[in-house]
Amino acid sequence: MKRNFVYVLAALLISVASCSFTNTNKTFDNPDKDKLLIQLISYVLEKGHYDPKDMDDTFSGKVFDQYISMLDPSKRYFLKSDIEEFEVYRDQIDDQIRDSEITFFDLVQQRLVKRMGEGQEIYKEILEKPFDFSEDEDINMDYENLPFASSKEELRDRWKKYLKFSTLSGYVTRLEDEENKKEEDAGYNMKSETELEKEARESTKKMQDEFYDLIDDLERKDWFVMYLNAIVTEFDPHTYYFGPEEKDRFDTSMSGKFEGIGARLQRKNDRIKIVEVISGGPAWRGNKIEVGDEIVRVAQGDEEPVDVIGMRLDDAVKLIKGPKGSEVRLTLKKVDGTTEVISIIRDVVELEESYAKSSTVEKDGKTFGIINLPKFYIDFDNYDDRNAASDVEKEIERLKEQGMEGLILDLRGNGGGSLKTVVDMAGFFIEKGPIVQVKSSGKRKEVLSDTDERVQWDGPLVILVNELSASASEILAAAMQDYKRAVIIGSKQTYGKGTVQNVVDLNQFLGQKNDFGDVGALKITTQKFYRINGGSTQLEGVKSDITVPDRYSYIDIGEKDQENPLPWDKIDPADYKTWDGYVNYEYALKQSKERMSKNEQLALIDDNARWVKKKQDENRYPLNYEAYRKAINKDEEVAKRFDVLSDYKTDLTFRSLPYEESLIAKDTVLRDKRERWHENLAKDVYVEEALHVLEDLQAGQVKKRVANIRD
């Protein structure tokens, strides 16, 4: 990030905040605060973004289309006349941004609220009457190319088809259940078609009611955040504005921990319910809260309790969360109907599923290790606290104590995280040298290197990736590939995110006298990173050494399929030498390709991926019962061919490490999670192939060692 703009911006905005605005309203429902945010964010984007865009009429048009699409993606609210009215602003949004004006936002937001209210009346009216599933009609779900309705009658028809499709799906499912019950018990009295249609229609109404409950929770500030993100995502798909609550959630996701009671909550029908008690947290340790309990009131220590029935979920969470060591008292309506007041001392809660975990597996008398890393997590406030690199280091040492002879690092689905943790982690596998090159706009490149000559693991290494392995995952995979230190097994290419984001706390620019409360943060793209061979992973990702098909093979989910991605380019390579360990790459790759060409499971996975892509591309569905049932039966016949994919099993047995076994003995939740993980690993054809490759690498290692001894 350009450092000099921070000081200019600070001076400018402190002046703006102190001189221009005196309203002390602490919410986003404040036009002055909205205008300040636009001014603040647009300046940060202009001065801090890696590739700042010209805010001109073309930019304005793109923001216009993006914002309307975000608000009404299925085109069931706005009318064509609304869009025509909005069109006057199509080429004026850039001017409004410069002038800190929000008339476009106000117009669209107010109209949306009105149209959504009308939509609520429409669905309630339509769902009062039974549907006729004998009519020959269909529904077009190609919303991107669907025009906005030209009249309220056309809009109502669109709603009717949508609700009918949802009800038909539920009706067919219920009818199949009744038929199965009749088949199992000839004496069973099946429900009538009229009863089943009514049940399905009521289920559709319940789903719509719950959706509108969520909509009712939204305030003007929530819609304004959407508008801001329609603006900032035009710079690139990873630049994003966080409102205050979203920033807290982002920090939690990156660190894997928060301070609170350790429970996941959900708002349903005006009630705040416990949907999960997090293993190891205060609520779990107290053993007095269970899934299904409703939180009725919340009190801070000895203070008066606050009624949370009907409260927004975010507001209820604010009351329940709090600093470590503080007391919160919850009035609960228990699952059995009783009411109880529970006192909980808040503590640091760690989200175990966010952290690295490891297992051993025996194969042909040899012990191998696997480490699963969901993300490159970090506590931004304290790097010395728990982070991905330090955790992986510990797991490697624990696996070595168990006699590990080869290591699988599973980065499938790992969307990235901290750049520092990936540089530190890469150093575990090489003596020293560059890991990644980073370039800021208009500046010379910076080479981030491992300077510690210690090698944590010098044995055979395989890294598993897929299309969802992104950012930091790609840095690690690319570095190990360039050094020829590891064999990369996975999809044709990884996600293709070759950019670096910094999170800028916008409050730092407002000074101590801030009358607007928390203004949130901006995650902004400030750099691009490059492989040590000079190539960018942007758009192209990392191409696997050994390519295997998976369910994402033909689905558009990579960076290249996003809106406004930055382009691919390359720079000069860094100075590095490939790994001189005892690893025979060519032998391992040759053996793997031969095995995969004969693997029926992988061939079937590829066929399934093609079929999934075909189904995804369909956008017209029948609303006639006979036609719908015929299509469903045809799909089920095809799907039966792929049922055997979940039946695949290996003869491998995965085990937790000794330190974790002692934890599992006291924690049934952790035990269940690990058992499920181990069961899935034993069915995982990719892990099975990775173990074969480790054996081949080890064989090559032995052969080369023997040759060196003879020399």
Residue 254 is predicted with a pLDDT of: 61
Tell whether 204 and 339 lie within a shared domain: no
- Helix H, strand E, coil C: the string for 330-372 is EEEECCCCCEEEEEEECEEEECHHHCCEEEEEEECCEEEEEEE
Tell whether 78 and 215 lie within a shared domain: yes
Domain end, chosen from 288, 323, 350, is at: 350
Tell whether 105 and 197 lie within a shared domain: yes
Task: Find the catalytic residue in 410, 482, 684, 696.
Answer: 482
The residue whose two tokens read 């927004």 is 312
Tell whether 658 and 577 lie within a shared domain: yes
Quick one: tokens of 72?
């009404």
Report yes or no on 524 lying in a domain.
Answer: yes
Residue 23 is predicted with a pLDDT of: 30
Expressed as residue numbers, the domain containing 157 is: 53-234
Report yes or no on 685 lying in a domain.
Answer: yes
Domain end, chosen from 202, 219, 234, is at: 234
Tell whether 263 and 230 lie within a shared domain: no
SS3 288: coil
Q: What single letter denotes the amino acid at residue 542?
A: V
Report yes or no on 619 lying in a domain.
Answer: yes
For the chain, the maximum distance between any two Cα atoms, rounded to a whole number of angstroms, is 88
Quick one: tokens of 134?
């004998």
Residues forming a β-bridge with 448: 436
Tell whether 337 and 367 lie within a shared domain: no
Low-confidence ranges of the chain (pLDDT < 70): 1-29, 250-257, 269, 279-280, 350, 352, 382-383, 512-515, 582-583, 699-711
The residue whose two tokens read 């905040």 is 17
Residue 340 is predicted with a pLDDT of: 85
Given a contact cutoff of 8 angstroms between Cβ atoms, the answer to whether 492 and 472 are in contact is no
Task: Find the catalytic residue in 273, 497, 523, 528.
Answer: 497
Given a contact cutoff of 8 angstroms between Cβ atoms, the answer to whether 386 and 421 are in contact is no
Q: What CATH number is given to the structural domain containing 569? A: 3.90.226.10
Residue 251: CB atoms within 10 Å: 17
SS3 584: coil
For residue 63, give the nearest of 232, 220, 176 by alpha carbon: 232
Q: What CATH number is given to the structural domain containing 306? A: 2.30.42.10
Report yes or no on 689 lying in a domain.
Answer: yes
Domain end, chosen from 350, 375, 393, is at: 350
Task: Find the catalytic residue in 60, 471, 473, 553.
Answer: 471
Residue ranges of the alpha helices (H) in 582-624?
585-597, 600-616
Phi-psi region of 511 (alpha: psi -120 to 50; beta: other; left: phi over 0): left
Handedness of CA 228, 232, 238, 243 (dihedral sign): negative
Tell whether 540 and 631 lie within a shared domain: yes
- 557 CB-near residues (< 8 Å, 6+ apart): 467, 468, 495
Residue 6 is predicted with a pLDDT of: 34
Tell whether 105 and 61 lie within a shared domain: yes
Number of domains observed in the structure of the chain: 3
Q: pTM of the entire structure? A: 0.82
DSSP state of 56: S
Report yes or no on 429 lying in a domain.
Answer: yes
Tell whether 285 and 201 lie within a shared domain: no
Q: What angle do CA 407, 391, 661 make, to 5 degrees?
A: 75
Residue 312 is predicted with a pLDDT of: 77
Report yes or no on 26 lying in a domain.
Answer: no
SS3 30: coil
Catalytic annotation present for 482: yes
| DSSP β-ladder status, 433-440 and 407-410 | unpaired
Residue 29 is predicted with a pLDDT of: 58
DSSP 306-329: EE-TT--HHHHHHHH---TT-EEE
Tell whether 224 and 373 lie within a shared domain: no
For residue 107, give the nearest of 136, 87, 122 by alpha carbon: 87
Report yes or no on 239 lying in a domain.
Answer: no
Tell whether 313 and 277 lie within a shared domain: yes
CA-to-CA distance for 131 and 172, rounded, in angstroms? 13
Report yes or no on 421 lying in a domain.
Answer: yes
Tell whether 140 and 204 lie within a shared domain: yes
